[in-house]
Amino acid sequence: MSRHICIHGHFYQPPRENPWLEAVEIQDSAHPYHDWNERITAECYAPNGVSRLFDGEGRIRDIVSNYARISFNFGPTLLAWMEEYSPAVYRAILEADRLSIDWRSGHGNALAQVYNHLIMPLANRRDKETQVRWGIADFERRFGRFPEGMWLAETAVDTETLDVLAAEGIRFTILAPHQARRIRTRGGRRWHSVEGGQIDPTMPYLCRLPSGRSIVIFFYDGPISRAVAFEKLLDQGERFAERLLSGFDDRRNRPQILSIATDGETYGHHHMHGDMALAYALSYLEDNGLGRITNYGEFLEIHPPGHEVEIVEKSSWSCIHGIERWQGDCGCNSGGYPHWNQQWRGPLRHAFDWLRDELAAPYEMAAGALLQDPWQARNYYIGIMLDRSPEQVDGFFHRHAPRPLAHEERTRALKLLEMQRHLLLMYTSCGWFFDELSGIETVQVIQYAGRAVQLARELFGNGIETTFLQRLAAVRGNTPEYRDGARIYEAFVKPAMIDLVKVGAHYAVSSLFQEYGEETRVFSYRVQSEDSRLIQAGQTRLAIGRALISSATTGERDRITYCVLYFGNHALNGGVRSFRGEEAYGAMAAEITRAFEASLFVEIIRLMDAHFGMHNYSLRDLFRDEQRRILGMVIGGVLAEFEDRYTALYDNYRLLMGFVRQTGMPVPYRFMTTAQVALNLKLDRTFAKPCIADSEIDVLLREIADWGVEIERVDLEFRIRRRLETTMLMLREAPLDEGLLADADRLLDLADRVPIALNLWLAQNIYLEIARPYWHKLMEKSREGDTHNDWWFEKFRRLGERLNFNTRAVLPPLSEE
């Protein structure tokens, strides 16, 4: 009897992109990170690519990729974000799949996912097909191969969904044990009920479909999966391994696969250091020959299913009522308040269904004039979603348009397809999963609907928004402030809507604070500057210009003119509107420039009103990230002035306050507050200097100890860590640089003298990246009698020990040469 172990991680985050900017804006709740994608990447996705294995003394004996040893799927929308904003982690995931192909008989660990995590049994056939095709195309583009398996959002399933998977060539999917209804031996006649999770999950099952197609289903072990997710099984790696082994039964006289499935975020985000428990458990099992680590594709090739299964229709893994969580008040929720209900779920879905169906016919008619097959074109639109280069767009229209299209026709076609994209995105399951209508996940899907409504209004000029708002008004939430869907639409959707003039306003205002080139990118828009003038008088600045704004998504474009006056601090007034001709632009620029040179600021405001009407903008109209950046610049000088005053006050009065303390009189708390700020500023500035003087650090630390003030550990740790990481990155490029080795060692010395716990995670990763190729390379030279770099061996080994490596395990001893 052979034992096979397959751990599956479903890695996914709710989409967080602003539907108009196609980017995730800053999220304060994720502090100190920019947004939740970035935070969970730091806590989970990155660590699982470089997870630590420790020896008995708590030192690192190896760093391994969990992705290379477990089955996994990543949501396509998450991978799209990661490719741009966390490329190193993204590359590690792709490389892990390539490694697994070598290790698992040609079968990769990665599985595809239905594109934007919608609940498949609640979708119509056409949307199901698009979701699967988009998921496959996204996977092929990233992993360079066709996916054998596909993960269903929430494992929500019905027979039609399985048929769509099978029709597209997907070999298998994964379900929860309670989603099996009955089984029989393959080709047998007698069915046996396994409802209630009674199915044996240690083998695959064939599901025959009414169409004549079939698909294989793996059922994960429910109790062990729940223990991993909710019962603190990841507190100890060895206990995790032993619990996995408990899923085998020696009475089964056949090969067994012990399969578990959880959210991938379990390993690091939900359970701190869960990645290390996973890494240890896998190594423990392999090192002790207790089972073969495998993936579903490899096991299926060796051990095809000997049984057939029928599923429980419209079931899922996270709702005991089937799929009611995404369409009704079934009682499933994630906490909230006892008096809350989820009666809003059904009406919200009904409103979305109405919007989707109401726009189907206009889409088909309008797209039919521009595309050979509107719905087939939608299925292939994923190619443009993945690559919006002119070449890709040209190729798409060459294949799908019945004739060459003019630019305006292409824009119209792309707007139609974008409308359909957002009609699919609005069904992302997270919008219904939680408790309250005004939650960020539900607001996100309503924004997707709003983007579709905006495009429909531009395309068809109809009053669909009014009717949609009436339907949203019937969607009742739990909070008085956001009592219904219409109120949420007015509060969160309409203010977020962006047109090209608003993009121009952002560009105009930000041009006062940074120098743009002839062409720049503002999120999903391109801006070509055709004329720009910046005049400055003291703190006051005036920007006047003309630019061509175009959408990288739809190709829509508009030429805008602008004038922005900045008085200093946060006082700013600007006008932006569509270009009205060279004569009007020249007159505006000349009149306002004359008024500025004459310091007639009231006259400038009057002229702005005359030339731009109500198209007025301020710092409030900047997109959130740029607004934060510019406000940071504005208050930077103010903060520097505060810091200088605190430092001066401390220096001027510290001797006096020291004498006060010697007399036994309590030191005024106002001075102690000043000392707290000033001494931490001095310490931070000392560590920021190009050359750090040990004596200066020692004096400051003694002074801090004398006054008994608290060190601001978070900021100081960040400063030292970033300096160490920068040194290590430089060392990676020049590993034989003795000075860089000494710098890294000295920074660790300094960190030891400051009472902070330094996060060495990235420095350790870089160290091993250097060690693996260069240590062995220099060992080869040493074998050949080259002793020139003998000094390097000792210094590099010492650095590894300072970074908490068991260098005997990580670096082969020189005596082996």
Does position 409 have pLDDT exceeding 70, yes or no? yes
Q: What is the mean pLDDT of residues 405-431?
A: 98
Q: What is the mean pLDDT of residues 738-767?
A: 91
User: pLDDT at position 581, please?
Assistant: 93
* 376 class by beta-carbon count within 10 Å (0-12 exposed, 13-18 middle, 19+ buried): middle
User: pLDDT at position 793, please?
Assistant: 81
Look at residue 643 and tell me if it is in a domain: yes
CB atoms within 10 A of CB 288: 9
658 and 761 in a single domain? The answer is: yes
- pLDDT tens-digit readout, 77-110: 999 999 999 999 999 999 999 999 999 999 999 9
Does position 816 have pLDDT exceeding 70, yes or no? no
266 and 135 in a single domain? The answer is: yes
200 and 286 in a single domain? The answer is: yes
Q: Which two tokens stand for residue 651?
A: 């220096």
User: pLDDT at position 275, please?
Assistant: 97
- pLDDT tens-digit readout, 422-444: 999 999 999 999 999 999 999 99
Domain boundary among 474, 496, 518: 496
Domain, as residue range, for 384 = 345-496
Give the lowest-confidence range in 405-419, 567-581, 703-717, 780-794.
780-794
User: pLDDT at position 375, please?
Assistant: 98
Closest CA to 111 of 5, 10, 179, 40: 10
With bands split at pLDDT 50, 70 and 90, how would you rate the model's confidence at 783?
low
Look at residue 241 and tell me if it is in a domain: yes
List Cβ<8 Å contacts ≥24 apart for 249-256.
249/202, 250/1, 252/1, 252/200, 252/202, 253/1, 254/1, 254/203, 255/1, 255/2, 255/3, 255/4, 255/203, 255/299, 255/302, 255/303, 256/1, 256/2, 256/3, 256/4, 256/202, 256/203
Does position 791 have pLDDT exceeding 80, yes or no? no
107 and 129 in a single domain? The answer is: yes
Interatomic CA distance for residues 43 and 271, integer angstroms: 9
SS3 assignment for 239-255: HHHHHHHCCCCCCCCCC
Look at residue 773 and tell me if it is in a domain: yes
CATH of the domain at 198: 3.20.110.20
With bands split at pLDDT 50, 70 and 90, how would you rate the model's confidence at 817?
very low
613 and 667 in a single domain? The answer is: no
Interatomic CA distance for residues 315 and 326, integer angstroms: 11
User: pLDDT at position 640, please?
Assistant: 86
Interatomic CA distance for residues 574 and 595, integer angstroms: 15
User: pLDDT at position 502, please?
Assistant: 92
67 neighbors 93 (Cβ within 8 angstroms): yes
Does position 814 have pLDDT exceeding 60, yes or no? no
The residue ranking higher by pLDDT, 421 or 539, is: 421
Interatomic CA distance for residues 30 and 40, integer angstroms: 9
Look at residue 664 and tell me if it is in a domain: yes
210 neighbors 254 (Cβ within 8 angstroms): no
Interatomic CA distance for residues 589 and 598, integer angstroms: 14
Q: In whole numbers, what is the pLDDT of the chain averaged over residues?
A: 93
732 and 805 in a single domain? The answer is: yes
CA 602 to chain centre: 46
Q: Are strands 214-219 and 172-175 parallel, antiparallel or unpaired?
A: parallel
Q: What is the mean pLDDT of residues 673-685?
A: 91
User: pLDDT at position 626, please?
Assistant: 86
Q: What is the mean pLDDT of residues 382-401?
A: 97
**pTM for this structure?**
0.93
Look at residue 19 and tell me if it is in a domain: no
Query: Could you tell me the sign of the dihedral formed by the alpha carbons of 400, 402, 404, 409, in that order?
Result: negative
- pLDDT tens-digit readout, 238-281: 999 999 999 999 999 999 999 999 999 999 999 999 999 999 99
How much is the CA Rg of the chain, to the nearest whole Å?
31
Residue type, 192: H
668 and 811 in a single domain? The answer is: yes
User: pLDDT at position 657, please?
Assistant: 87
User: What letter would DSSP give residue 579?
Assistant: -
Look at residue 542 and tell me if it is in a domain: yes
Does position 312 have pLDDT exceeding 60, yes or no? yes
User: pLDDT at position 133, please?
Assistant: 98
521 neighbors 503 (Cβ within 8 angstroms): no
Q: What is the mean pLDDT of residues 663-688?
A: 91
287 and 365 in a single domain? The answer is: no
Q: Residue 383: CB partners within 8 Å, gap ≥ 6?
A: 137, 392, 395, 396
CA 318 to chain centre: 23
CB atoms within 10 A of CB 780: 10
Does position 815 have pLDDT exceeding 60, yes or no? no
763 and 775 in a single domain? The answer is: yes
Domain boundary among 476, 496, 516: 496
Q: What is the mean pLDDT of residues 444-464?
A: 95
449 neighbors 421 (Cβ within 8 angstroms): no
With bands split at pLDDT 50, 70 and 90, how would you rate the model's confidence at 779?
low
With bands split at pLDDT 50, 70 and 90, how would you rate the model's confidence at 564?
very high
- Residues 578-595 as b/e (b if ≥16 CB within 10 A, e otherwise) read ebeeeeebeebbebbbeb
726 neighbors 716 (Cβ within 8 angstroms): no
177 neighbors 150 (Cβ within 8 angstroms): no
Q: Which residue is it, tokens 């731009």? A: 612
Phi, psi of 289 (to 5 degrees): 60, 35
Does position 690 have pLDDT exceeding 90, yes or no? no
204 neighbors 217 (Cβ within 8 angstroms): yes
- pLDDT tens-digit readout, 627-666: 888 888 878 878 888 889 999 999 998 898 889 888 989 9
Look at residue 319 and tell me if it is in a domain: no
602 and 674 in a single domain? The answer is: no
In total, how many domains does the chain have?
4
User: pLDDT at position 467, please?
Assistant: 96
479 and 352 in a single domain? The answer is: yes
Give the lowest-confidence range in 136-140, 168-172, 434-438.
434-438
435 and 487 in a single domain? The answer is: yes
Helix (H) or strand (E) holding 72: strand 71-74
Does position 537 have pLDDT exceeding 90, yes or no? no
Domain boundary among 459, 474, 496: 496
Look at residue 253 and tell me if it is in a domain: yes
User: pLDDT at position 615, please?
Assistant: 72
